[in-house]
């Protein structure tokens, strides 16, 4: 059995080729739908997607993210204490049923923690399809246990990650959105209809079930023990299984349909933090604040919306935008989204 | 965020074009199978279905119903207090993997309740495939909150709905059932073998799980809050999440295989009532009584069976047919089913 | 409603043609993945599988087993008190998405129990695809209730089942494994790298959920009441639903990836025993001991590994190989596995 990498097993510049390649199927898309309930039209309807120029219905962006993330777990975060943050996440090309995804990570930096027990490892993970097209690239940093706390690691090599993607760093989708039909998509608001500062409460919440987060996490072939082994977890300070943080990201995306019905794709993950643990039985709510609104050069059909998306536990998320340090907030995302422009 | 229509927002004659179109996939059919355990042969085996003349294995009729129903929720019943009844439900054409479904409702009638707080809205909902073939049409009526109880709504426009579909209103399936193989289908009883008055106990029950009814309901893109938001529901008189009534219909259909093994399709929904709420932890049972048996003109291969199908909570369903007012009954359906005739 | 066969309804030599044929879909494979989290490369990636000579990604062997087993339940074990054992299980050909499976059982033997209340029935069950290729063949014996304890059954006809399959009885896979890529598959150990006597602890466990084992068991169209009817089970000595034993076999297979990453297929089921019942809430662990290592004639690319695979409840499985009678062991399998040889 593979014990997984400890802090000392990483090297800056190291390339990690992750197992296992995965052909994405219609079954994966259906399960994802049943787990989150997404209603964004291009992902739901092949004819709707094809009318925009997609080859077929694209997979939900976060499904792609989780599949790639899952592959990196055995090599990057099996011995992780915490998943600390994300940066520079770029969704670069649509992924379709039948595509085969694989993942590669590069170690960007390392830094030992003061107590000598652990350190922080920074990686860039890239997801590639069967044609070697990079469909996703993102950075994350995790706190990893040291194998031997007595061996100091004197070098500190913290990479210079952008606090957010500038609009120029986004890769506009290759499709054309002039004919995006708001009757079919379920929402009347186009890119022009949002305003910076606006807070959108996405409404009703979702109560988390163990069976659901475990099925989701296995669907991503993410086998981190903390999500599955209840007997082991009972002996930790958490007392029970931890929900994979990505599960909450996908719940937020699905809830965000209420108010962001036409935000058909995620363009970028500027930053993201899993602030607190989530357990089965918790009910989560989501709200978004529009923080920027940028047109795209030479594109009259599509624009980018920057949003702060927050998930709260057992209380409404909308209020979290009034508090400077919202206490019940469990997830805080800074995203770029694509929206069609008003025809 | 869309607040949804209140009673005052409906108009008789109004047409509601529902979002989101949905391409049905092999994954949807598998999930449906895993959620209910259906064993009807044409839906399970492509060669079995093709031998009868189907293009491929047709989807379960109630899966089609729930997909269409789910689309109507945001426009019709987000502010509903109760889903009161169904009538004139006709299953008109098979739906296959790869088909794209959309839904349109027409407001048939409206009537204010005496207390002025709410009213009843009657709609006909139609499901269409990518070729604009109507695959399903049914009426339902829901009790909807008024936005402002002080504004009276004096007109009362109750549509004249048939108490049940006459056999002539059924659309016989276009396939030929002479070669329906009872060894493969798992049952020896053909249309001729049933008798009016006969009660069939469908046997063992199913215990409901929150994870299962939520996955089912999301699969149908039905996002009514009562099914998902446990924290919100804890403050209602129900104290917990309500199971989508359609989930119980599908459980009844799957259980009904025991005794109705060759009832390969649902022909019509004459009437249906969700009598009481169902919660996770409840165990439900089903039984059917044959109430009519009609041959179909010019068809020696297929006949229609009318059944009263009842679901009970925590007690056997068979007994409900002895009681005039069965207390534990949570669902009461009046259906037409298709069965092959004895060759 | 079919009451199912009692002991007296079986005859040695009898052939039982099971309902319902099933076309396996991409959705079935995805659900299976979400329920267990398998990471074996040929089952996960179409290009990986095709590079070895498979037509597409083969289904997990145990998914095939459960689908065939499920079909036999209404005819063989609806009135079973216990599923006592397996022998001579041979996985004979890959099954792919789109294949249609059916099952036939032959009664091999019968023996009444001393108390006259029940007897043991031995069957061989075969799974066939749409081309009548036998993809799986195995024996099992079950204890079945007698309809009438007063009628004695004097004949005792116990078949002579092999205690295990000799290597010559295995059907080597038709594909070529010279190019099996350990970077993509996620493990460096080839057939040569294992040693007889070696015990592999497969690591972290899985906590069982009612929603998951019920969805799995329904996916296999196995409708044995004990798995679903919680109200009925509450009145038995078990007090709750029993988990289908095959669910535990599949959990063991998925867990065994840690340490047996390249064991790409199951070759044979020599023997298997479900030692104790498993319930939702239990956490199960798996470990394997290598008991034999045999080369295959004229094959330099693939070898067979015989393993004893044990699943324990709430305690580590590794230790069960130290105890002669491990108390917490709930499943004990004797398997042949296929592994690529070191190139």
Mean pLDDT of the C288-302 span: 97
Mean pLDDT of the A230-251 span: 97
Separation CA C121–CA C159 (nearest Å): 10
Using CB atoms, pick whichever of C26, C45, C201 lies closest to residue A27.
Answer: C26
Q: What is the DSSP letter of C128?
A: E
Q: Which chain B residue has its CA at the smallest distance from A201's CA?
A: B1
Mean pLDDT of the C238-246 span: 97
Mean pLDDT of the A263-281 span: 96
- Taking alpha carbons only, the member of A231, A201, A195 closest to residue A310 is A201
Mean pLDDT of the C28-36 span: 98
* Residues of chain A neighbouring B210 (CB-CB closer than 8 A): 207, 209
> In which band, very low, low, confident or very high, does the pLDDT at A2 lie, cut at 50, 70 and 90?
low
For C302-314, what is each residue's pLDDT tens digit? Answer: 999 999 999 999 8
pTM for this structure? 0.97
- A91 forms bridges with which residues in the sheet? A136
Give me the pLDDT at residue B77, please. Answer: 87
Give me the pLDDT at residue C2, please. Answer: 57
Q: Which chain C residue has its CA at the smallest distance from B48's CA?
A: C21
Q: Which chain A residue has its CA at the smallest distance from C36's CA?
A: A218
| Residue B18 and residue B105 in contact, taking contact as beta carbons nearer than 8 Å | yes
Please name the residues in contact with A181: beta carbons below 8 A apart, sequence gap of 6 or more.
A41, A48, A51
Contact A23 C44 (CB under 8 A): yes
Q: Which chain B residue has its CA at the smallest distance from C222's CA?
A: B37
> In which band, very low, low, confident or very high, does the pLDDT at B1 lie, cut at 50, 70 and 90?
very low
For B137-179, what is each residue's pLDDT tens digit? Answer: 999 999 999 998 888 888 889 999 999 999 999 999 999 999 9
How many CB pairs lie under 8 A apart between chains A and C? Answer: 128
> In which band, very low, low, confident or very high, does the pLDDT at A80 lie, cut at 50, 70 and 90?
confident
Phi and psi dihedrals of B51, rounded to 5?
Answer: -65, -25
Separation CA C232–CA B29 (nearest Å): 29
**What value does the mean pLDDT of chain B take?**
95
Mean pLDDT of the C251-256 span: 98
Mean pLDDT of the A154-170 span: 94
Mean pLDDT of the C28-39 span: 98
* Residues of chain C neighbouring A28 (CB-CB closer than 8 A): 30, 33
* Residues of chain C neighbouring A232 (CB-CB closer than 8 A): 204-205, 283
In this structure, the dihedral spanned by the alpha carbons of residues C206, C211, C217 and C221, taken in order and rounded to 10 degrees, is -160
Count of other CB atoms within 10 angstroms of residue B232: 17
Q: Which chain B residue has its CA at the smallest distance from C78's CA?
A: B204
Mean pLDDT of the A190-210 span: 97
C207 versus C156: the higher-pLDDT residue is C207
Q: How far is A300 from chain C (nearest CA, A)?
A: 39
Mutual angle of helices C210-219 and C61-72, in 10-degree steps: 80
Instruction: Kindly report whether the peptide bond that precedes residue B20 is cis, defined as omega within 30 degrees of 0.
Output: yes
Mean pLDDT of the A22-35 span: 98
- Is pLDDT above 50 for B38? yes
| Residue C296 and residue C171 in contact, taking contact as beta carbons nearer than 8 Å | no
Contact B204 C232 (CB under 8 A): yes
Using CB atoms, pick whichever of B21, B28, B130 lies closest to residue A41.
Answer: B21
Q: Residues of B75-89 as b/e, b for ≥16 C-beta within 10 angstroms?
A: bbbbbbeebebbbbb
- Is pLDDT above 70 for A184? yes
* Residues of chain C neighbouring A214 (CB-CB closer than 8 A): 207, 209, 212
* Displacement of CA C321 from its chain's centroid (Å): 21
- Taking alpha carbons only, the member of C204, C217, C264 closest to residue C245 is C217
> In which band, very low, low, confident or very high, does the pLDDT at A27 lie, cut at 50, 70 and 90?
very high
- Is pLDDT above 50 for A174? yes
Separation CA C330–CA C311 (nearest Å): 6
Contact A281 B231 (CB under 8 A): no
Separation CA A93–CA A170 (nearest Å): 11
| Residue C255 and residue C283 in contact, taking contact as beta carbons nearer than 8 Å | no
Give me the pLDDT at residue C251, please. Answer: 98
Contact A45 B210 (CB under 8 A): no
- Is pLDDT above 90 for A257? yes
Separation CA B72–CA A246 (nearest Å): 30
Contact C283 A221 (CB under 8 A): no
Mean pLDDT of the C272-291 span: 96
- Determine the residue among C26, C223, C233, C243 to mutate to test chain B binding: the one whose Cβ has the most chain B Cβ atoms within 10 Å: C223
Separation CA C49–CA C36 (nearest Å): 20
The contact set of B with A (CB < 8 A) is 1-2, 17, 19-23, 25-28, 30-31, 74, 98, 100, 102, 130, 209-212, 214-219, 221, 223, 225, 228-232, 241
Q: Please tell me whether residue C58 adopts helix, strand or coil conformation.
A: coil
> In which band, very low, low, confident or very high, does the pLDDT at A265 lie, cut at 50, 70 and 90?
very high
Q: What element of type H or E holds B337?
A: strand B329-340
> In which band, very low, low, confident or very high, does the pLDDT at B2 lie, cut at 50, 70 and 90?
low
Give me the pLDDT at residue B324, please. Answer: 72
Chains in touch with B (≥3 Cβ pairs < 8 A): A, C
* Displacement of CA A155 from its chain's centroid (Å): 30
- Is pLDDT above 50 for A1? no
Q: Residues of C112-148 as b/e, b for ≥16 C-beta within 10 angstroms?
A: beeeeebbbbbbbbbbbbeeeeebbbbbbbbbbbbee
Q: Which chain B residue has its CA at the smallest distance from A35's CA?
A: B215
């Amino acid at each position: 059995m593979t014990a997984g990498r400890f802090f000392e097993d990483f090297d800056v510049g190291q390339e990690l080729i992750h197992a296992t390649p995965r052909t994405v199927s219609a079954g994966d898309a259906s399960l994802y739908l049943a787990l989150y309930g997404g209603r964004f039209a291009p992902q739901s309807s092949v004819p709707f997607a094809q009318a925009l120029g997609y080859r077929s219905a694209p997979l939900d962006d976060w499904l792609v993210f989780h599949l790639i993330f899952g592959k990196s777990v055995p090599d990057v975060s099996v011995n992780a204490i915490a998943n600390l943050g994300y940066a520079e996440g770029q969704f670069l090309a649509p992924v379709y049923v039948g595509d085969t995804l694989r993942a590669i990570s590069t170690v960007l930096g390392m830094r030992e923690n003061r107590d000598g027990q652990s350190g922080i490892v920074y990686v860039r993970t890239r997801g590639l399809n069967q044609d070697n097209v990079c469909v996703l690239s993102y950075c994350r940093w995790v706190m990893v246990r040291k194998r031997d706390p007595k061996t100091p690691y004197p070098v500190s090599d913290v990479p210079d990650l952008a606090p957010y993607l500038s609009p120029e760093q986004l890769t506009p989708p290759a499709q054309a959105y002039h004919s995006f039909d708001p009757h079919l998509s379920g929402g009347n608001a186009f890119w022009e209809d949002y305003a910076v500062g606006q807070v959108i409460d996405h409404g009703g919440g979702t109560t988390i079930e163990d069976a659901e987060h475990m099925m989701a996490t296995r669907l991503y072939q993410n086998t981190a023990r903390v999500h599955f082994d209840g007997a082991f977890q009972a002996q930790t300070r958490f007392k029970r299984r931890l929900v994979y943080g990505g599960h909450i990201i996908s719940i937020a995306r699905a809830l965000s349909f209420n108010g962001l019905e036409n935000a058909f794709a995620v363009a970028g993950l500027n930053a993201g933090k899993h602030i607190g643990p989530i357990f089965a039985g918790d009910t989560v709510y989501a709200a978004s604040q529009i923080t920027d609104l940028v047109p795209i050069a030479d594109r009259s059909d599509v624009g980018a919306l920057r949003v702060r998306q927050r998930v709260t536990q057992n209380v409404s998320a909308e209020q979290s935008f009034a508090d400077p340090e919202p206490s019940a907030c469990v997830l805080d995302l800074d995203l770029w989204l694509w929206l069609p422009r008003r025809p």
